[in-house]
Amino acid sequence: MPAFAACVLRHAVAFREGFNLLLLLALPFFVLHTLDMPDMYKPIHPHPGAKYREEQLIRDIQGYSQDPDQKRIPHCAEILQKARMARQWIYDPKTHEWYSPDEFDKAFGKIMVGNETMLARVVIKHPNEGIEAGYKVVAKMQEKLNSLVQRVVKWGTADNHIEPTNRA
């Protein structure tokens, strides 16, 4: 026990002022002593609402972190402005549709609510990329059609003719 506490107790007992004097003299020592106590002995929250306020502050601080949790969805006007400034078109990868800035404005410019998912997925691209992609798709379809024609011709020359039956 520190010397100060022993001195306080001796004086309290010597003067026999009673229990109240002992508490009045020992209270500052107790307060000073609790400042040096390990955290496990300190009261966790002095006020019942303090824990809630502390948790709320932590949530607020984490909410204002600089790490972006979600990608911000641009507004239709922002997409149109970027496309016009870059002289490019707007491409929707889900529907494979291409829009000029004027067509996009006419189709989606007045819709304020409900098109957030579409606005999040559209991409601003040069229209020549769409033409090149279209030619690739047409070439693949032409290859599939040619292979189908060859299979039908091969099947027809192999005497695989099946006579139609009358189901009456």
Q: Rounded distance, CA 104 to CA 101, Å?
A: 5
CA 79 to centroid of chain Cα atoms: 21
Please name every residue paired with 97 in a beta bridge, in sequence order, or none if there are none.
92
Both tokens of residue 157?
């020359």
Q: Rounded distance, CA 122 to CA 78, Å?
A: 12
Alpha carbons within 13 A on the beta-carbon side of 55: 6
Q: Rounded distance, CA 112 to CA 116, Å?
A: 9
Encode pLDDT of 106-152 as tens digits: 988 887 677 788 888 999 999 999 999 999 999 999 999 999 999 98
Residue 122 · residue 95 · CB < 8 Å: no
Encode pLDDT of 19-67 as tens digits: 555 555 555 555 555 555 555 555 555 666 666 677 777 777 766 655 5
pLDDT at 37: 54
Residue 120, amino acid: A
Q: Rounded distance, CA 143 to CA 118, Å?
A: 33
Encode pLDDT of 77-105 as tens digits: 899 999 999 999 999 999 999 999 999 99
Alpha carbons within 13 A on the beta-carbon side of 159: 0
pTM of the model: 0.48
CA Rg value for the chain: 40
Give helix 19-35 / helix 3-15 axis angle, nearest 10°. 170
pLDDT at 59: 73
Per DSSP, the three-state class of 136 is helix
